[in-house]
């Protein structure tokens, strides 16, 4: 955990260049990779007879529980809890509501659409982040950011296998839900770096996840009293809470404030390569040559996005 370090807002990545921005990019990349475990977790939970609403609620409640335990452990070690005003608390809870909304929409889309189609539509968040960056800063993104986002979207078509199926002829509501998940995901990653929180990462995470719990009540209001934990969902709940909330909220909270919004969403594209690798190992789903080529293209797009920060760091060292 990040201890009691205050998460400072760095407007559009200002004040973080070179090695510092590269470190932040790796944190966001790791946060995106953690999301890669979710598709396999969802599939296994569905196969065990649990509904998407129960899985979403499990992710929210256990993510909040993990952060609460971390905050209590930090307090026991002498870390003071900071006073957080209600306006800031609402903003942080809004972040949690966004990430839970992403899960709600994405889980429904996956239950109706073929996984490659749902994944491809979700991954539109890579370029949507550039849109939010342009709207919020009133400045166009750097050309390399645009190119890297396009490369990632191109690679996703091959890595997900959607080039075989296309997206025509599917349930339009499910298609809209998958696109809605892309919008809410891009907003979460973007806004994670724009909410200044004068408290520890653990305390911040508790408030964010409280918003996720509130949002989960809209789809599964009886989660706690339904007895679903006694029915065997505990393992899926632990995995979903850890990889779906604890790690991403923590890592995005540390890395996103030091990156432009568009770059944050590009770096979060690690989700798909990580998800495909986990599915191959856990579920035994094979990856063909074309799919591996798509993964390589995605990773090339991510590396391309880092050319400018690394170049800036090199110029600073040469001064």
> What value does the mean pLDDT take over residues 66-82?
86
Per-residue pLDDT tens digits for 259-268 = 776 677 777 8
pLDDT band at 2 (very low <50, low <70, confident <90, very high): very low
Which pLDDT value is given to residue 56?
Answer: 93
CB under 8 Å to 274, separation ≥6 — which residues? 32, 33, 34, 35, 36, 37
Per-residue pLDDT tens digits for 235-258 = 999 999 999 899 988 888 888 888
Write a three-state SS string for the chain: CCCCCCECCCHHHCCCCHHHHHHHHHHHHHHHHHHHHHHHHHHHHHHCCCCHHHHHHHHHHHHHHHHHHHHHHHHHCCCCCCCCCHHHHHHHHHHHHHHHHHHHHHHHHHHHCCHHHHHHHHCCHHHHHHHHHHHHHCCCCCHHHHHHHHHHHHHHHHHCCHHHHCCCCCCHHHHHHHHHHHHHHHHHHHHHCCCCECCCHHHHHHHHHHHHHHHHCCCCCCCCCCCHHHHCCHHHHHHHHHHHHHHHHHHHHHHHHHCCHHHHHHHHHHHHHHHHHHHHHHCCCCCCHHHHHHHHHHHHHHHHHCHHHHHHHHHHHHC
How far apart CA 258 and CA 136 sit, in angstroms, is 16
Which pLDDT value is given to residue 230?
Answer: 86
pLDDT band at 62 (very low <50, low <70, confident <90, very high): very high
Which pLDDT value is given to residue 58?
Answer: 94
pLDDT band at 273 (very low <50, low <70, confident <90, very high): confident
Which pLDDT value is given to residue 57?
Answer: 94
Which pLDDT value is given to residue 18?
Answer: 58
pLDDT higher for 107 or 17?
107
pLDDT band at 315 (very low <50, low <70, confident <90, very high): very low
In percent, the amount of the chain with pLDDT more than 70 equals 89
pLDDT of 7 higher than 50: no
pLDDT of 112 higher than 70: yes
> What value does the mean pLDDT take over residues 165-175?
83
In percent, the amount of the chain with pLDDT more than 90 equals 25
> What value does the mean pLDDT take over residues 290-299?
88
pLDDT of 54 higher than 50: yes
Which residue from 138, 4, 125, 26 is spatially nearest to 75, judged by alpha carbons?
4
pLDDT of 11 higher than 50: no
Which residue from 28, 91, 64, 72 is spatially nearest to 210, judged by alpha carbons?
64
Which pLDDT value is given to residue 118?
Answer: 82
How far apart CA 178 and CA 162 sit, in angstroms, is 14
pLDDT of 73 higher than 60: yes
Mean residue pLDDT of the chain comes to 82
Which pLDDT value is given to residue 55?
Answer: 92
Measured in whole angstroms, the distance separating CA 134 from the mean position of its chain's CA atoms is 20
Which pLDDT value is given to residue 319?
Answer: 47
Which pLDDT value is given to residue 318?
Answer: 44
């Amino acid at each position: 955990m990040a201890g009691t370090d205050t998460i400072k807002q760095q407007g559009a990545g200002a004040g973080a260049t070179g090695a510092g921005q590269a470190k932040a990019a790796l944190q966001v990349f790791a946060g995106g990779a953690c999301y890669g475990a979710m598709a396999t977790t969802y599939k296994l939970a569905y196969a065990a007879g649990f509904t998407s609403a129960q899985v979403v609620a499990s992710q929210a409640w256990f993510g909040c529980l993990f952060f609460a335990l971390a905050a209590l452990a930090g307090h026991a070690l002498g870390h003071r809890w900071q006073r957080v005003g209600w306006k800031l608390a609402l903003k942080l809870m809004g972040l949690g509501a966004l990430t839970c909304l992403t899960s709600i929409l994405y889980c429904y889309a996956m239950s109706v659409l073929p996984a490659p189609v749902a994944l491809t539509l979700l991954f539109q968040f890579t370029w949507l982040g550039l849109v939010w960056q342009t709207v919020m800063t009133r400045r166009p993104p750097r050309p390399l950011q645009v190119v890297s986002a396009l490369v990632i979207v191109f690679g996703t078509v091959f890595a997900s296998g959607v080039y075989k199926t296309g997206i025509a002829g599917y349930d339009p509501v499910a298609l809209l839900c998958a696109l809605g998940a892309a919008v809410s995901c891009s907003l979460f990653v973007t806004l994670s770096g724009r909410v200044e929180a004068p408290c520890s990462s653990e305390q911040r995470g508790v408030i964010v996840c409280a918003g996720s719990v509130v949002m989960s009540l809209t789809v599964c209001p009886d989660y706690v009293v339904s007895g679903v934990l006694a029915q065997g969902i505990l393992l899926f709940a632990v995995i979903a809470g850890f990889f779906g909330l604890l790690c991403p909220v923590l890592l995005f909270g540390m890395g996103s404030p030091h990156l432009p919004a568009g770059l944050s969403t590009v770096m979060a594209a690690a989700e798909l390569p990580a998800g495909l690798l986990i599915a191959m190992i856990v579920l035994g789903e094979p990856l063909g040559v074309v799919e591996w080529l798509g993964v390589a293209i995605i990773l090339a797009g991510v590396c391309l996005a880092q050319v400018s920060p690394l170049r800036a760091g090199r110029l600073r060292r040469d001064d």
